[in-house]
A and B are shown apart, each in its own frame.
Chain A
């Protein structure tokens, strides 16, 4: 079984500041890792994914994340945020078995202030 811990439930930042949203996972098998973004009253949009290969992955909207196997982490970063980045961000993991169902963290609400 897998689990995901998102260490911060809320992260307030000012516009154009850098941001890091933290995610740690637990799994007994190799994993695939994902970050999703959810705007109010909408579904989830895939930001980026780590399947294999380079541990630094780049996604949409200028976001990137780094897979660290020894620390079981997959933190999301953006060097300069915009007001439009205000949303809920979910880290998710899948691994083991063939169904690839996702296990999500509880989410981090990123609020970008002017």
Chain B
């Protein structure tokens, strides 16, 4: 299967801990996106990479959040000092351009 993969699928952490999620996009896609989805809502844009360059960050991405895409391949999203409000599904998507984005299965974060 050559779709978008995300790890881990589920993460339970205690408030104040740091967590890191990984996304492996479709290999020929140069665009990579992170979204956050809370219960009963549609996904909300967090950040966008073109190759290794992070070109846009949402206001939702506080300074506790950081994302990287070294060498323009996989990407990581780190949340420092997690808060209960960070509990959500974190979705990664990749795209070759205008034709739509292809999503991974998501990482569900629960902060206790």
Contact = CB atoms under 8 A, between A and B. Distances in A.
Contact of B99 (A4, A44, A49, A99): A49
A100 B98 CA distance: 7
Contacts of B22: none
Contacts of B65: none
Main secondary structure of the interface of B (DSSP, over half): strand
A99 B93 CA distance: 13
B73 to A, nearest CB: 19
B36 to A, nearest CB: 11
B42 A101 contact: no
B43 A104 contact: yes
B100 A34 contact: yes
Contact of B42 (A41, A45, A51, A107): A107
A32 B93 CA distance: 17
A107 B44 CA distance: 12
A11 interface: no
A90 B98 contact: no
A104 B46 CA distance: 13
Given A99-B48, A104-B43, A43 B103 contact: yes
Interface of B: 4, 6, 31, 33, 35, 40-45, 48, 50, 55-56, 91, 93, 95, 97-106, 108
Given A99-B55, A102-B43, 10 more contacts: A42-B106, A43-B105, A43-B106, A44-B43, A44-B93, A46-B100, A49-B100, A100-B95, A102-B93, A104-B43
